[in-house]
Structure 1
Amino acid sequence: MGARVARMLRNFNLESRAHLELSRDKPRAAPRHPAPRHPAPGPEASDVAESIHGKNDPLLSLLKSVYVKSEDPAPSEAPKPAAAAHEEQQRRPLKFSLPGDLYGPGAVDVPRGKLSLVEALRALNSHKSQPATWTPEKLTQEYSLNPKDTKAILEFFTPFDVKIIPPQTERAKQIKGSP
């Protein structure tokens, strides 16, 4: 109901207010800053204009001597893109995989410098269980990784690491392990 009253007040005497607004004088635009229309011609201006619009015979003769011949390559002779050929050389076969093709069909190789999820978990777990055998250098060599990335992965990712934080008060409930 309030919207109906507001609309009535807003539309009250609308036509006369519109005529009043249209009959007012329009505001004038601000004056523009005076600026010279054309710079004063001098001896330098005429030399520049002449060099721009005049013919340069040595450059014109060089332009006439250029001949470009372009042909499309035959479809059978089309070379592979350089990125695709380079990528084929940079791929390596998977070291480990899970049975049942859990991570997608046809995953038989990965790019160099990358790990599949299964390989990453196995590498992190083997380093955690046998750090003397599986050093960062050996993991770098085994999986064709960047040494800096390998050290960062081993430092910041810890798989299967469960930490139980003891309660701060005596009254807090604790989860009791099964016997």
Structure 2
Amino acid sequence: MSNMGARVSRMFRNFNLENRVIREISKEKPLVAPRHKTPVLPPVTAGVSEVIHGKNEPLVSLLKTVWVQSEDPLPAEDLHRRRPLKFSLPGPGHGLADITDVPKGRLSLVEALRALNSHKTQPATWTAERVALEYCLAPADTTALLQFFIPFNVKILPPQRDGQKQIKGS
């Protein structure tokens, strides 16, 4: 049934198609918008070309006074130097016992917590500069670490007693 409807609609769609196409093609085309007028540039003379391509002695003398000094980058070995761990977790079983050194500029989790705790408990002695020297860190990174990262405060709650009232949740 749907095939029958498609045939009928196709018949009406294609009815007198050639005449409609010829009528559309024979219509006058719209006019194109006028172009912007561009100023006519004067032709380049030989004198201007000499000025452009000529040698400017004051600029050449200034260029001779410029001195560029470059340095070779650090060898790859210096970038990947490692330092031994200052602190680690006691005993095996934590998954961190096999780590013995870290790259310079990095901290292990235990060292980071210890450095943050030392700065929190004794900020006068454990300044950002001392922490940076102790753990071979960049001073700017160490300052940002101590300013924006706050270690957790652990609060130990006393055990529940039978005689105390408790709030019951619903």
Instruction: Report the TM-score when normalising by structure 2.
Output: 0.48
Instruction: Report the TM-score when normalising by structure 1.
Output: 0.46
